[in-house]
Amino acid sequence: MANGPAETDSRPDTRPPQGVFASHAMQRVLRIATEAAPSGIPVLITGESGTGKEVLARIIHDRSGRPREQFIPYNCTGTTPEIADSQLFGHRRGSFTGASDNALGVIRSAHGGTLLLDEIGELDLRIQPKLLRMIENQEVQPLGQPRPSKVDVRILAATNADLDEMVRDKRFREDLLYRLNIIRIHIPPLRDHREDIVPLVMLFLRRYAGEQNKKEIRLSGDAIQQLLERDWPGNIRQLANEIRRLVAFAKDGTLITPDDLAQSTASTGLPRSENGAGARSSRDTVTISADQPLPAALEEMERALIIRALLAAGGRLNAAAGRLGVSRKGLLLKRRRLNIDALLASK
């Protein structure tokens, strides 16, 4: 059988996810996203600010089989309904004063691919019926164009607003919510999946040290413990920014201690962890989800300890093995078995 031309960019992405999905809760999020990806059905992604809604939307797109570069995010915030209308649906030249050229609009420019409607709760009520028609009929009618044009666009929507409440308050159309809400994926706040904090720290340390050309930057056990105990109201984005800042101020070979964190705690107004006299020994604690079978819980604990030792040793295997009381070879084998490198796959 003759081989056809390679269509590399329209095959679903089977690489490890771009990001950290180590905890039970985030593995579940990733599993639902992966299952939903090829279907073409709208997906509504909800979660607080900075939890990774756009990251997840991209993963859904990458695993959908649609051409990889054809992912268009559109932010529904902060524009007039007239501008949103023409940005989304396009217009014909001369269709209103100032329309000096034809405009394709983001929906048609996403043809064949995926459109992420970010902050969908901000979409003006006057535009919502037009979007509903587009989703129902897979066609758009640009301003000034006599007939609608057919489009093939996968719709993803993201929001940190409570759309159900907005429907009750008549600020969001119920029929549109039904259309968008066929599959809903909620990403929990970081404080509810703290098991991901250490792998995230490791990923961000590697990323920002690489970007800023810094070498051997490590965190002390106490510093890691403090990061584990914070509430992170700005979620993963806030953690990423914190690590970026720490790396920016660190010299090659620095061991970051709780003192280095204290400054940012003061500046962001976050609660300090309470490790007063008599409190449990902070550096010897790992947090794992109790809601899982014993073998999975043991694996999670092993993974958390290994990642933490690697982090404290600045990624040096011998030193990490020494801390854990295992041989270098044993650590390498465990790292492979527990899939630690794949979990830490960076962007």
Ligand X SMILES: Nc1ncnc2c1ncn2[C@@H]1O[C@H](COP(=O)(O)OP(=O)(O)OP(=O)(O)O)[C@@H](O)[C@H]1O
Q: By the criterion CB under 5 A, which residues form the site for Mg ion?
A: 54
Residue 273 touches ligand X, criterion: CB under 6 A: no
Non-local CB neighbours of 236 within 8 Å, separated by 6+ positions: 50, 51, 52, 190, 200
Choose the stretch contacting ligand X; rule: CB under 6 A; options: 53-61, 166-174, 243-251, 287-295: 53-61
Q: Which of residues 134-163 bind ligand X (CB under 6 A)?
A: 160
User: Whose Cβ is closer to ligand X: residue 75's or residue 145's?
Assistant: 75
Residue 49 touches ligand X, criterion: CB under 6 A: yes
Binding mask 165-204 for ligand X (x = CB under 6 A): -----------------------------------x--x-
Residue 47 touches ligand X, criterion: CB under 6 A: yes
* Assigned token pair, 197: 């904090």
User: Whose Cβ is closer to Mg ion: residue 51's or residue 225's?
Assistant: 51
Choose the stretch contacting ligand X; rule: CB under 6 A; options: 17-25, 95-103, 178-186, 326-334: 17-25
Q: Which of residues 228-267 bind ligand X (CB under 6 A)?
A: 236-237, 240
Please tell me the distance from the alpha carbon of residue 235 to that of residue 50, in angstroms, as a whole number. 5
Please give the size of the binding site for ligand X, defined by CB under 6 A: 17
CB of 49 to ligand X, least distance (A): 4
CB of 204 to ligand X, least distance (A): 8
CB of 216 to Mg ion, least distance (A): 33
Identify any residues that bridge with 184 across adjacent strands, giving them in sequence order: 44
- Partner in contact with 19, chosen from Mg ion, ligand X, none, beta carbon below 5 to 8 Å by kind: ligand X
Please tell me the distance from the alpha carbon of residue 163 to that of residue 150, in angstroms, as a whole number. 28
Nearest to 130 by CA among 148, 118, 153: 148
- Partner in contact with 51, chosen from ligand X, Mg ion, none, beta carbon below 5 to 8 Å by kind: ligand X
Residue 52 touches ligand X, criterion: CB under 6 A: yes
For residues 228 and 287, the answer to whether their CB atoms sit within 8 Å is yes
The residue sitting closest to Mg ion, measured at its beta carbon, is: 54
Binding site for ligand X (CB under 6 A): 19-21, 47, 49-55, 160, 200, 203, 236-237, 240
